[in-house]
């Protein structure tokens, strides 16, 4: 009689494929990869299965994991699209970022010796601060995080959190020039530079002191002054967009502290956002089916009262000039306010069209006109004034526009792959239809293919200017 093993909760047999993959590690590659001797270093080249490859961009492709041979594949890229890629591993320092391209050469990424970074974070009175997020990133990529890159993927070492004594330990930082960032919701973010030398296993930083930032706090209520719970509240100095030559944002670049923050209102409608710069902020509360008037407050104000009211929606269908649905178009709604000689624009909704070209913008005010803008790389950018919230579906038509193609070569006439090409329409075409104003504006940024060619579509009428830039070569556009 054959025995049937049922105690899998205690242990399980090894799958044949796993056993085969592990045999080299039990025989030839048995060295400790964390050690400095030759056998251990040789082992480093076969630790691929635990390495994660990440595209360092906010909405880029999904990360990939290397196989037993250290190989990986990142899918979902456009032809010759360049993506900065970095390899991370819990026991090693991250690799330097390299640019990979769909259809390009195979990348080789080298993990580095893991270094420890430790220290302590306190407040101005010397008391330890618990819960500070400490990140170590390469100096050459630190600025990219401020430009919208995915924060998690650009880090050169796994972030850590300070304990009750304010102490932290980053176990796997790479060598080189680093920027160490200290972030806590109630304090002003701080940065310290650190030079981590290879061969020095542990780096101890001087004690870091964080200062408290300004606070914006208040309550969210409805038209009957009843609290609105679970509303998303955002404050953003950069959202105060002022035209006619006035500064785009009143926040001073030198002012310490965050220029943005977010919170969720509690069951009593209350919220609080800390660690802010001394600046003027736009306060935006959002909840489906509700809207509030734009509100600007100075940091430090703790009695903000945001009154929300019932809102409508804009439902629509986007088609091209042949009547075919346009999928994947970004649809935005804006309202404009005029005070004296200045006009500000407030964003009140965003959606993306489905396969049938349909979209819905919710939380739209019902008592005023809204400007709707629609953007798609294959069509001319579209803006329509005078749109109102309504129950019925409204039609929107995108124009195909002109297309520009060419080739980018270097000074010797050789094609340049992966060059950034920017196409700008200098003159804007405005069309009036049925008493409504439709405005088309366009610029496009594309990358050259392996043979140096490029193509940009959806361009408007007017003089078109084409420029190209590539970091290592002087280029010529033809």
Q: Is the pLDDT of residue 475 over 50?
A: no
Q: Across residues 422-428, what is the average pLDDT?
A: 69
Confidence of residue 5 (pLDDT cuts 50, 70, 90): low
Q: pLDDT value at position 89?
A: 77
Sole residue written with tokens 């009154």: 307
- CB atoms inside a 10 Å sphere around CB 399: 19
Q: pLDDT value at position 4?
A: 62
Name the residue among 180, 170, 178, 171 with its Cα closest to residue 197: 178
- Whether this model's pTM surpasses 0.75: no
Contact 331, 352 (CB under 8 A): yes
Q: pLDDT value at position 478?
A: 47
- Residue 476 β-bridge partners: 409
Q: Which residues contact 278 (CB under 8 A, 6 or more apart)?
A: 214, 252, 255, 257, 299, 300
Q: pLDDT value at position 182?
A: 93
Q: pLDDT value at position 356?
A: 96
Q: Rounded distance, CA 464 to CA 462, Å? A: 6
Radius of gyration (C-alpha) of the chain in whole angstroms: 27
Most confident of 233-237, 398-402, 433-437: 233-237
More confident residue, 113 or 49: 113
By residue count, the chain amounts to 478
Confidence of residue 151 (pLDDT cuts 50, 70, 90): very low
Q: pLDDT value at position 255?
A: 52
Q: Is the pLDDT of residue 82 over 90?
A: no
Name the residue among 94, 181, 198 with its Cα closest to residue 145: 181
Name the residue among 176, 184, 191, 109 with its Cα closest to residue 146: 191
Q: Which residues contact 204 (CB under 8 A, 6 or more apart)?
A: 118, 119
Buried/exposed code over 457-476 (b: 16+ C-beta within 10 A; e: otherwise): bbbbbbebebebebeebebe
Token reading at 195: 């030079």
- Residue 364 β-bridge partners: 312
Q: Rounded distance, CA 462 to CA 443, Å? A: 12
- Residue 299 β-bridge partners: none
Among the residues of 96-211, which ranges form H helices? 139-145, 151-154
Q: pLDDT value at position 430?
A: 46
Q: Is the pLDDT of residue 220 over 50?
A: yes
Q: Rounded distance, CA 265 to CA 267, Å? A: 7
């Amino acid at each position: 009689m054959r025995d049937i093993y049922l105690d899998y909760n205690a242990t399980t047999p090894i799958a044949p494929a796993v056993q085969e993959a592990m045999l080299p590690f039990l025989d030839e590659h048995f060295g400790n990869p964390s050690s400095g001797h030759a056998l251990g270093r040789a082992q480093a080249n076969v630790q691929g299965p635990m390495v994660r490859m990440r595209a360092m961009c906010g909405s880029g492709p999904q990360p990939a994991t290397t196989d037993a041979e250290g190989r990986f594949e990142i899918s979902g890229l456009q032809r010759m699209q360049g993506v900065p890629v970095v390899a991370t591993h819990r026991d090693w320092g991250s690799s330097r970022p390299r640019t990979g391209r769909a259809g390009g050469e195979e990348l080789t990424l080298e993990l580095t010796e893991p270094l420890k970074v430790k220290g302590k974070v306190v407040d101005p009175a010397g008391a330890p601060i618990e819960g500070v997020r400490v990140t170590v990133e390469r100096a050459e990529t630190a600025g990219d995080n401020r430009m919208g890159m995915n924060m998690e993927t650009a880090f050169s070492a796994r972030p850590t959190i300070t304990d009750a004594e304010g102490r932290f330990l980053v176990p796997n930082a790479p060598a080189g020039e680093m920027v160490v960032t200290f972030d806590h919701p109630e304090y002003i973010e701080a940065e310290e530079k650190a030079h981590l030398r290879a061969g020095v296993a542990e780096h101890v930083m001087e004690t870091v002191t964080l200062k408290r930032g300004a606070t914006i706090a208040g309550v969210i209520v409805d038209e009957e002054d009843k609290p609105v719970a679970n509303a998303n509240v955002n404050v953003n100095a950069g959202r105060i967009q002022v035209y006619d030559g006035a500064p785009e944002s009143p926040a001073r670049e030198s002012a310490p502290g965050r220029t943005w923050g977010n919170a969720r209102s509690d069951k009593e409608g209350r919220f609080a956002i800390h660690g802010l710069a001394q600046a003027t902020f736009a306060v935006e509360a959002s909840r489906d089916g509700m809207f509030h008037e734009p509100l600007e407050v100075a940091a430090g104000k703790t009695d903000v009262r945001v009154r929300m009211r019932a809102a409508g929606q804009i439902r629509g269908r986007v088609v091209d000039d042949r009547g075919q649905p346009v999928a994947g178009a970004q649809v935005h709604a804006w309202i404009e306010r005029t005070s004296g000689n200045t006009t500000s624009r407030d964003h009140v909704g965003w959606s993306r069209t489905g396969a049938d070209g349909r979209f819905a913008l919710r939380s739209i005010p019902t008592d005023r006109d809204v400007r709707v803008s629609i953007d798609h790389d294959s069509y001319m950018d579209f803006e329509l004034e005078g749109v109102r919230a309504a129950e019925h579906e409204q039609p929107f038509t995108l124009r195909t526009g002109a297309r520009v193609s060419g080739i980018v070569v270097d000074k010797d006439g050789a094609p340049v792959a992966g060059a950034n090409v920017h196409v700008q329409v200098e003159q804007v075409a405005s069309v009036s239809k049925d008493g409504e104003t439709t405005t088309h504006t366009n610029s496009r940024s594309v990358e050259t293919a392996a043979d140096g060619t490029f193509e940009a579509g959806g361009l408007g009428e007017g003089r078109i200017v084409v420029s190209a830039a590539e970091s290592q070569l002087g280029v010529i556009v033809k």
